[in-house]
């Protein structure tokens, strides 16, 4: 019997053979960092001084010159954002940052997912024209907006593109483009989110204005852009980008501001509404508690609501909007639950749970599915099947359906879509994305041939891959490490997240007590094998939790946490995966 109904293999995390130069550190912690590619202390530097220069980004000097001119000439700027958490935080950072740097006339437009779709399209340009902008700045989008940029130029509107998505073969003819993933770009991180890109643009602009003595001449105080880092941290974690050193710095510094209470009203409100505490907030809280509530606006309604929350300086208004976002997130959960049940029925009909019939790449479609939730659905099914998955829903245009794709390590999903497009030139209306996630639009009548082509190309890529789901463990822990002190050391020492995973350990435990809490969660008291101490543990969202009542022993993979309840702090293991031994 397995915690999530799917058997996984608990395997040791590969240990690097490269020589380590880490010193004055717990030996266990050194091993953890080595296995994540960290061998020198400089790689663990999370100070702002360790950030690379913004001028390493190609296009930055041109971008800054256009923005300097816009500020000097008091031009009207319209931000065009994306409708996810990265897009919303990018918009808020752009709005707040440009105001801090002297721009006096800045507004925004965010496409409604259900009316306009993604990016700077000609339709969004028409919407933006109502604000009579001199300049459009895209945040977290724009790199594929060929026609949108042309439409803006025809309307005599200059376009500045800031984005992090992978570019296609053709780039838009924008006045300036800053994107770390442009060919031959020298910036050391292609992983920064859209919010990180616009933050870097603001840093470069401030540096340029400082060199021009703009602040002294205009009688303005040079702003501390660090005050935007709480928003940068939220957008970075919520967009599930790899936490390389640049992103670890941005997230760590943002978390420091949040924990000290020096954060924007929206962050305080979203933390409060999610039942977390500012002083103890971790990166995982941004990803699993705060981000989904902000994302719910774009998924279920209109991301304008989320942006209003992020740019508000009124604490009461921010809390009121955060409550609305929480309600939308509850609606999203209900819709997701229904869609997941329907998807499971479809998979059963496809005999997808039978290894003999399990497709390499899975496509699912239901005409009733909610367009804003298909990405989450694809992620849930991908986790269950350990295969790339695309979930489709009806688009707002007759005859079109939209898909949201999620992939597994080793299968670059955007490259797969590129290969489908190359082999079948007319089958994809549009697509874009990353290695692990992508979006696409196709005609309804092309769904069957697309699904076949997708499955065929994915199957080729999976042939030499070991597809058994695995949980990577950093090893067993002795009594001396199963302590609150070691758990707190892990929390302090790393900014854990995507591609820089939080330590997971494994071991065999005698079950002293097991009870169901909150309908889907299990609360344990465990006794480590061969040890005397008892330890609390919890497992979230367990399938058929009643089947675990009465079990006597388990093999578990777990993370270490410190649970705070009624002022008391105690060690708690968070069980990632476990199987019954007796």
Q: Domain spanning 350-462 has what CATH number?
A: 3.10.310.30
Q: What DSSP character marks residue 319? A: H
Q: What DSSP character marks residue 430? A: E
- Give residue 254's Cα distance to chain centre: 15
Which among 403, 368, 400, 373 is positioned nearest to 388, based on CA atoms? 403
Per the CB < 8 A criterion, the answer to whether 157 and 109 are in contact is no
Residue 149 structure tokens: 């940029």
Q: Domain spanning 55-326 has what CATH number?
A: 3.90.1640.30
User: Which residues are within 8 A (CB) of 524 and not within 5 positions of it... i.e. 6 or more apart?
Assistant: 509, 511, 512, 513, 514, 536, 537, 538, 539, 575
Q: Is 135 helix (H, G, I), strand (E, B) or coil?
A: strand
Global pTM value: 0.93
Identify each DSSP E strand in 315-418 by its residue range: 362-365, 389-394, 400-406
Per the CB < 8 A criterion, the answer to whether 560 and 486 are in contact is yes
| Spatial distance between the Cα atoms of 129 and 118, rounded to a whole number of angstroms | 18
Task: Annotate 501-518 with b (16+ C-beta within 10 A) or e (fewer).
Answer: bbbbbbbebbbeebeeee
Q: How far is CA 96 from CA 101, 108, 128, 210, in A?
A: 9, 11, 19, 18
| Spatial distance between the Cα atoms of 320 and 316, rounded to a whole number of angstroms | 6
3-state secondary structure 40-109: CHHHHCCCHHHCCCHHHCCCHHHHHHHHHHHHHCCCCEEEECCCCHHHHHHHHHHHHHHHHCCCCCEEEE
User: Which residues are within 8 A (CB) of 371 and not within 5 positions of it... i.e. 6 or more apart?
Assistant: 113, 114, 393, 394, 395, 396, 402
Q: What angle do CA 491, 39, 560 make, to 5 degrees?
A: 20
| Spatial distance between the Cα atoms of 19 and 186, rounded to a whole number of angstroms | 27
- pLDDT on residue 353: 65
Which among 12, 25, 18 is positioned nearest to 39, based on CA atoms? 18
Angle separating helix axes 315-349 and 265-273, nearest 10 degrees: 50
184 - beta bridge partners?
Answer: none
Q: Is 172 helix (H, G, I), strand (E, B) or coil?
A: coil
Q: What does the domain layout of the chain look like in residue ranges?
A: 9-35+474-580, 55-326, 350-462
Q: What angle do CA 50, 310, 331 make, to 5 degrees?
A: 120
Per the CB < 8 A criterion, the answer to whether 82 and 141 are in contact is yes
Identify each DSSP E strand in 360-519 by its residue range: 362-365, 389-394, 400-406, 430-433, 437-443, 470-473, 505-517
Residue 300 structure tokens: 């279920």
Q: What DSSP character marks residue 119? A: S
- pLDDT on residue 269: 98
Q: What is the pLDDT along the chain (582 residues), one digit of tens a residue?
A: 556 667 889 999 998 888 888 988 999 999 999 999 999 999 999 999 999 999 999 999 999 999 999 999 999 999 999 999 999 999 999 999 999 999 999 999 998 888 787 889 999 999 999 999 999 999 999 999 999 999 999 999 999 999 999 898 899 999 999 999 999 899 999 999 999 999 999 999 999 999 999 998 888 889 999 999 999 999 999 998 999 999 999 999 999 999 999 999 999 999 999 999 999 999 999 999 999 999 999 999 899 999 999 999 999 999 999 999 999 999 999 999 999 999 999 888 877 666 666 788 999 999 999 999 999 999 999 988 889 999 999 987 778 999 999 999 889 999 999 999 999 999 999 888 888 888 999 999 999 999 999 999 999 998 877 778 889 999 999 888 999 999 999 999 999 999 999 999 999 999 999 999 987 899 999 999 777 789 999 999 898 899 999 899 999 999 999 988 777 889 999 999 999 987
| Spatial distance between the Cα atoms of 517 and 412, rounded to a whole number of angstroms | 38
State the Rg of the chain over Cα.
24
Q: Which long-range contacts (CB under 8 A, 24 or more apart) does 97-100 make?
A: 97/198, 97/199, 97/202, 97/225, 97/228, 98/67, 98/71, 98/202, 100/223, 100/225
User: Which residues are within 8 A (CB) of 354 and not within 5 positions of it... i.e. 6 or more apart?
Assistant: none
Residue 514 structure tokens: 């097991």
User: Which residues are within 8 A (CB) of 437 and not within 5 positions of it... i.e. 6 or more apart?
Assistant: 240, 375, 404, 405, 406, 407, 413
9-35+474-580: what fold?
A: OB fold (Dihydrolipoamide Acetyltransferase, E2P) (2.40.50)
Q: Which helix (H) or strand (E) holds 525?
A: strand 521-528
Q: How far is CA 246 from CA 45, 191, 345, 458, 572, in A?
A: 10, 8, 43, 32, 30
Token pair 């040079």 is found at: 222
Per the CB < 8 A criterion, the answer to whether 113 and 372 are in contact is yes
């Amino acid at each position: 019997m397995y915690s999530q109904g799917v058997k996984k293999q608990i395997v040791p995390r590969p240990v690097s053979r490269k020589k380590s130069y880490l010193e004055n550190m717990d030996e266990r912690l050194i091993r953890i960092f080595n296995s994540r590619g960290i061998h020198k202390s400089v790689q663990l530097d999370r100070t702002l001084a360790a950030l690379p220069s913004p001028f390493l980004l190609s296009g930055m000097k041109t971008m800054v010159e256009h923005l300097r001119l816009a500020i000097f000439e008091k031009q009207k700027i319209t931000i065009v954002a994306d409708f996810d958490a990265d897009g919303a935080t990018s918009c808020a950072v752009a709005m707040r940052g440009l105001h801090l740097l002297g721009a006096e006339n800045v507004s925004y437009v965010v496409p409604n997912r259900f009316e306009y779709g993604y990016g700077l399209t000609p339709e969004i340009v028409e919407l933006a024209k109502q604000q009579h902008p001199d300049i459009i700045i895209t945040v977290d989008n724009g790199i594929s907006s060929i026609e949108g940029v042309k439409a803006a130029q025809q309307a005599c509107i200059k376009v500045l593109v800031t984005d992090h998505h992978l570019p296609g073969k053709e780039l838009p003819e924008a006045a300036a483009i800053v994107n770390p993933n442009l060919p031959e770009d020298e910036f050391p991180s292609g992983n920064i989110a859209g919010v990180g890109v616009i933050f870097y643009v603001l840093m470069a602009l401030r540096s340029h204005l400082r060199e021009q003595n703009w602040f002294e001449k205009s009688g303005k105080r040079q702003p501390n852009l660090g005050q935007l880092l709480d928003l940068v941290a939220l957008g970075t974690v919520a967009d599930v980008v790899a936490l390389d050193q640049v992103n670890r710095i941005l997230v760590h510094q943002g978390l420091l501001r949040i924990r000290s209470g020096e954060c924007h009203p929206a962050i305080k409100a979203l933390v409060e509404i999610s039942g977390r505490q500012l002083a103890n907030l971790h990166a995982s809280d941004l990803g699993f508690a705060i981000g989904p509530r902000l994302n719910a606006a774009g998924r279920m309604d209109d991301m304008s609501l989320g942006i209003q929350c992020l740019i508000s300086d009124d604490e009461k208004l921010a809390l009121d909007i955060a409550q609305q976002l929480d309600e939308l997130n509850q609606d999203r959960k209900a819709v997701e639950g229904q869609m997941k049940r329907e998807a499971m029925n479809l998979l059963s009909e496809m005999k997808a749970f039978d290894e003999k019939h399990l497709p390499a790449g899975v496509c699912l479609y239901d005409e009733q599915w909610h367009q804003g939730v298909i990405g989450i659905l694809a992620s849930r099914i991908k986790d269950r099947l350990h295969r790339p998955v695309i979930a489709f829903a009806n688009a707002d245009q007759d005859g079109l359906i939209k898909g949201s794709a999620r992939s597994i390590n080793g299968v670059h999903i955007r490259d797969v879509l590129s290969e489908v497009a190359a082999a079948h030139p007319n089958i994809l209306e549009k697509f874009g994305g990353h290695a692990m996630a992508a979006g696409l639009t196709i005609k309804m009548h092309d769904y069957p041939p697309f699904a076949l082509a997708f499955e065929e190309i994915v199957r080729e890529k999976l042939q030499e891959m070991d597809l058994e789901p695995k949980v990577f463990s950093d090893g067993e822990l002795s009594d001396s490490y199963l302590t609150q002190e070691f758990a707190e050391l892990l929390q302090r020492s790393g900014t854990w997240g995507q591609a820089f995973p939080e330590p997971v350990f494994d071991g065999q435990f005698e079950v002293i007590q097991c009870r169901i809490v909150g309908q889907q969660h299990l609360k344990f008291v465990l006794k480590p094998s061969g040890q005397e101490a008892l330890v609390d543990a919890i497992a979230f969202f367990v399938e058929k939790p009643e089947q675990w009542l009465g079990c006597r022993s388990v093999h578990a993979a777990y993370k270490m946490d410190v649970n705070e309840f009624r002022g008391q702090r105690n060690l708690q293991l968070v069980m990632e995966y476990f199987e019954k031994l007796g």
